[in-house]
Amino acid sequence: MKGRKWIALALALALILGTWTVAGGAPSASAASAPVRHYDGIHYASVTIGAGDEAGQKFAASGPFYSVAVRAPSYGDNDGSLTMKLYAWNTDYATTVAAAPVASRTFVDFQDNEWLRLNFPEQPAGQYVWTLSGAVGWVGVWKLTDSADPAEAFWNGTPTSGDYEGRIYYADEDPYLYDGNAYQDVTIGASDTAGSRFAAHDRFYSLAVRTPSYSDNDGSLTLKLYAWNTDYATSVGGTPLVSKTFTDFADNAWLRIQFPEKSAGQYVWTLSGASGWVGVWKLTDSGHPATAYFNGSETSGDYQARLYYGEYGTEPQEMYSHVDTTVRDVPISGAGSAGERFQAVWPFTRIETNTPSYGDDQGSLKLSLYAWNTDYATTVASAPIVEKTFVDFADNAWLALDVPEQPAGDYLWVLSAGTNGVGVWQTSGNNFFPGTPYIDGAVASAYGDFKSRITYTPSKVLPDLPVFSSSDAATAETVNRMFKTLYTLKFGPSPVDGNPQTNWMQWDAMTTAWMNTGLNKGKYGADYNEVLREHLLNDVRMTDDGYVYVLNPTNWWGEGTSLVGWPFPSTSSPDDPAVRKYAFGTSVSGWTTSVASHAISGGKWVLQTTGADPFVVSPVQNTPASRMPYLYVQMSSTNADSSGKIYFTTDADPTWNEAKSVAFTVDTTGASKGYQIPMFKNPHWTGTIKQYRIDPADSGQPGSQVGLERVAGEYDTRHVQTNTAFVLGSAELFLWNPSDVAFLQGNISRMRSALQFLKTEFDSGSNHYLTIPWVGHEGTSGVDMTKPNVADRYVHGKGVGSNYWDILPIGYKDFYDTIYYYEALKTMAQIEKLIEDNAGWSIAANPYGDDSASLSAKAANVAAAMTGSSSPFWNAATGRYVPSVDTNGAMHDYGYTFVNLEALAQGLADPTRAASIFSWLDGTRTVVGDTSTGADIYAPKFAARASTKRNTEWYNIIWTQSDTHPFGTQVQDGGAIMYVSYYDVMARLKYKSADDAWNRFAAILEHYEEAQEEGGYRSYYGIRGIGMQGDGSAGGIGIDAEFTESALVPLAFLYGFLGIDTEKDGLSVAPRRPSALGWMKVEKLVYDGAEASVYASATETAVTIDSSSGAKKLKIGSLTPGTAYQVKRDGAAWSTFTADADGFIRFSTTGAGAHVYRVEL
């Protein structure tokens, strides 16, 4: 799940895009927008300026600007001088230069061909003239004799041909408070203060300053922001608007503070209070209109700082897939263009495109934004909403087009008028963003979305999300903001992206099924609950015997990878030398065929399958069957016959026969398809495989053909967790929408089949836990770390993962997946009970002989086996559970906190074991041999470490260099993943107390606020030099990117403290209110199509629900068993109910419209 494939992807993409940087040394960060040229052409000529000469150039400034520069030769001796002046244009050249200049500077003994740069207070848009005069020595100016730029050159007051080599620096809301390229580090001592006065052109919500800590990541600095007042001393003598101390930050970190928006105006920031060897980066040649200070005095240059404009939380969101393996550049020149139609889900203020200038940072592009109208031609025939030409931009720059806030709707952006070799980046493959790319006005269907981004107005994103509130208003607001933040994070199969994947079905349903996703559509415009419903009904693939595929057809890695199992490990990466792999792009690679007419064509082996019994035969393999339980075949076929079959021979039986064959169904549409064929299902697939033969059809037909592209033996990378995720996700969605009987009717046979597969494949005996019989899932390691050479560490065919924790070889006796099996049994018992009680649904009885009673009994047996004294998964020596026991009986106990917390959340421990687990987690008990003990277990703050003991030897085959990754730098070895905290809070509610759970929850919220104060999680960890996993890189922190299940954590307020759940008895509410809250509430909850709110305090539990669509079943808990409770309806006495042995009362609502049902405590 957290695949290392992302490392290779990120490196490849970084190298393609030129974005890879190396830590340490002078930073290579982006600075201010590139200056704009006032010349073009290619023919250069130097113009000597004598003592009485004057060169000048009239130009138009399209916006506020603060600097101009002119390139001047001094002919090799770096000797001489020139005076540069800037004038506001007035009528004609003579009148203009007769007036006082806006600014003037004399440059003495400048370098040959130096850019002479004149800085001045910001000037408005308009017409201006610069001049060079007062020459001393042999000096001059460069001219482009063939330039056709609108600028107008003058020589001694008379217009002249061509244009001088001049440029302008604009100040239009550029976020960077510096420019130039001459970096210098400035050490800040204990009593020193560095600062900078700057002008914010618009409201802003964040400030960052780049600081060295000189490689030791040790020391501290305090960053403060003040409103400017008269002068520097007066300003910093006041109370800072914001102050934040940063300790032990990474070398060259951007120290960032985030705050409620500040208005446009003058401000000053300071860095002070230094300890250790720390400092700030300065650009000594910066001409930005900011003013740098050191110890209260003005100093030259500018410090490296930047602003973040807009509302609090303004961040761009990508309008392309994050996980494409390749990108291509699309050059734009002349009349050529590239663009994309896109849907803006919410109001927006900016569009950006990612554009190469191919290394020379020169050229221009026009970016235009249109409101979509009917078709492309009609749209671009109308006037654009706004457009802007970008000149001489940095290679791979994001060109940003700011617009007045535009409403949600369909739009088109277009890049055109390219000059001097420029273009745009386009992604490949499975793009989840529903945009339509165009090249030269035609749909670019061969590739995917262009790399573009949109910036939404934060306050208008998801305006109808449910709202949490409580007596502690600030804390409730943090819960709301944290949920919104995590719900809208980018990447992968997130609910808000509308791209569900099977592995996450349960978590995704828990994240969204309880609210109205029609009102709260995802950033790609998806009604996620509808997408999820459709996916569960029609997209999730299953084998005939009930195994649920890991990946759906639109998976991250595409059709050419494993769909049945996880994409790694594979026999190709790392290469398994015992397993042969064949690609037929250039030759038949030693294969033979019964087909008379065949040839290599179009990157495949094309066979004209016109005769009877077409087949191809492999070369001799001599491969252990255990190293290739699957055979992967990529091919296309136009045969009418879809009956494919694989025959094989072994050393023990070298004859071809039907007994040694495996059938598969072939797609006959001619499309290229990948087939993962389970050879292990044939009992003769054992020992050494000699050869195999592929029959793409029983018989061919005239004119039909097969295109064979790739054949390879593959490992069995199936995941056990997919079946439970499918069952639980389907049940979760239905139980929140019990009137959607059509969904259950359409999916119940698949849910039953998926559960039956778990029972028969893994739990057919009397153990009552899952035992994985699959080849490679023995629970043993796929690496041998005793070998000094990395290449010798691979244990091919072993150590395959079985679930979300994909680089851990959890297998054989599998406790982790048994936890979810137990939950699936309990949940399906409730589904079966509903079916039994609702004969009118016309759902047939369970064909496997199960009913609600038998499934409940089975769940009870599983619980007894897990919690009993003979449980194989309890390590008495360490007082905690282990994830699995391998075929050798080894436990592999590395202190996996997630295993223990998820087990406790399901109630799979007696009180003694639960106390043992919490004493270890909470640091009151030390486990001998653990790497992390005491308070360090929760050092990540937002979650416990995933493990507390260093693991260098028990991994999937792809993780062979664990010895080079220190403890805590990999999420599955001492790092932390956020979702686990949901189960942490739920486990504490079950076994400890509401107050104990609240303390943990409050710590998570506090960490969220800390991170937001420093610009969000990525900035927070970047400042500290801590690697986050995701977006293509490994790391020790899993919160964003593919970790979309993180959104579960703030929902502990919903499912845990408010105690809201759904089951066969309806909407269940059993509050567990902590003493820190006098009351707590959620609004805009949706149950069975009805909007509801839930309120809980010390004196009442109240549910407000609209019954217009029919009566709703309610179940109120956390009551005293046997006690009678009065329920009031809209404040009036309504009915009395007695709590059952579990402390619940049950009733159905009455009457149309919304009513409040209040249980007085």
Q: Write out pLDDT tens, residues 444-466.
A: 977 889 999 999 999 999 999 99
Q: What's the CA gap between 564 and 757, in Å, rounded?
A: 15
pLDDT of residue 575: 95
Q: What's the CA gap between 696 and 902, in Å, rounded?
A: 46
Q: What's the CA gap between 398 and 377, in Å, rounded?
A: 26
Could you list the beta-strand ranges (E) of 1065-1131.
1066-1069, 1079-1087, 1090-1097, 1100-1106, 1113-1116, 1124-1129
- Give 876's contacts (C-beta < 8 A, 6+ positions apart): none
Task: Lowest mean pLDDT of 33-42, 389-398, 1116-1125, name the range.
Answer: 33-42
- Give 87's contacts (C-beta < 8 A, 6+ positions apart): 96, 97, 99, 101, 102, 128, 129, 130, 131
327, pLDDT greater than 90: no
pLDDT of residue 26: 44
pLDDT of residue 438: 97
Question: Strand, coil or helix: what is 271?
Answer: strand
360 closest CA partner among 34, 112, 69: 34
Task: Lowest mean pLDDT of 38-47, 490-499, 564-573, name the range.
Answer: 490-499
CA angle at 322 for the pair 316 and 323, rounded to the nearest 5°: 175
Average pLDDT, the chain: 93
pLDDT classification of 562: cutoffs 50, 70, 90: low
149, pLDDT greater than 90: no
Could you list the beta-strand ranges (E) of 65-162.
65-72, 81-88, 103-108, 114-123, 126-136, 139-144, 152-155, 158-160
Q: What's the CA gap between 1051 and 59, in Å, rounded?
A: 58
* Contact assessment for residue 945 and residue 1038, using Cβ atoms and an 8 Å cutoff: no
1044 closest CA partner among 476, 481, 509, 525: 509
Which token pair is 302? 């500018």
pLDDT classification of 434: cutoffs 50, 70, 90: confident
pLDDT of residue 20: 25
Beta bridge partners of 328: 426
b/e map of 749-772 (b: 16 or more CB within 10 Å)? ebbbbbbbbbbebbbeeebbbbbb
239, pLDDT greater than 90: yes
The mean per-residue pLDDT over the stretch 11-34 comes to: 36
Task: Lowest mean pLDDT of 3-17, 347-361, 703-717, name the range.
Answer: 3-17
| Helices vs strands, H then E, count in the chain | 17, 67
pLDDT of residue 502: 83
Q: What's the CA gap between 1117 and 560, in Å, rounded?
A: 51
801, pLDDT greater than 60: yes
Q: Which helix (H) or strand (E) holds 455?
A: strand 452-456
State pTM to two decimals.
0.90
pLDDT classification of 29: cutoffs 50, 70, 90: very low
625, pLDDT greater than 90: yes
The mean per-residue pLDDT over the stretch 794-801 comes to: 96
User: 10 Å Cβ neighbour count for 256?
Assistant: 23
What residue type is 992 in one-letter code? K
pLDDT classification of 30: cutoffs 50, 70, 90: very low
492, pLDDT greater than 60: no
- The torsion of the CA quartet 892, 896, 900, 902, rounded to 10 degrees, works out to -120
942, pLDDT greater than 50: yes
pLDDT classification of 24: cutoffs 50, 70, 90: very low
- The percentage of the chain sitting over the pLDDT mark of 70, rounded to a whole number, equals 94
Q: What's the CA gap between 815 and 1054, in Å, rounded?
A: 28
Which token pair is 90? 């007035």
919 closest CA partner among 902, 900, 905: 900
Q: What's the CA gap between 471 and 644, in Å, rounded?
A: 66
Is the link from the previous residue into 569 a cis peptide, with omega within 30 of 0?
yes
Could you list the beta-strand ranges (E) of 507-629.
581-583, 592-593, 598-601, 604-608, 616-617, 623-624
* Contact assessment for residue 78 and residue 116, using Cβ atoms and an 8 Å cutoff: no
pLDDT digits (tens, 9 = 90+) for 803-829: 999 999 999 999 999 999 999 999 999
pLDDT of residue 213: 96
Q: Is 703 exposed, middle or buried (0-12, 13-18, 19+ CB in 10 A)?
A: exposed
1064 closest CA partner among 726, 826, 752: 826
CA angle at 821 for the pair 818 and 823, rounded to the nearest 5°: 115
28, pLDDT greater than 50: no
pLDDT classification of 495: cutoffs 50, 70, 90: low
The mean per-residue pLDDT over the stretch 1015-1026 comes to: 95
pLDDT of residue 171: 73
pLDDT digits (tens, 9 = 90+) for 173-188: 678 999 888 999 999 9
962, pLDDT greater than 50: yes
8, pLDDT greater than 50: no
pLDDT of residue 448: 86
Q: What's the CA gap between 292 and 186, in Å, rounded?
A: 12
Domains, the chain, with CATH or none: 36-170 (2.60.120.820), 184-309 (2.60.120), 317-456 (2.60.120), 506-570+718-772+811-867 (no CATH), 581-714 (2.60.120.260), 1058-1160 (2.60.40.1180)
Q: What's the CA gap between 113 and 139, in Å, rounded?
A: 10
Following DSSP, what letter does each residue of 219-248 receive, concatenated? -EEEEEEEE-BSBHHHHHTS--SEEEEEES
Report the interhelical angle of 721-736 vs 505-512 (nearest 10°).
20
Q: What's the CA gap between 922 and 897, in Å, rounded?
A: 11
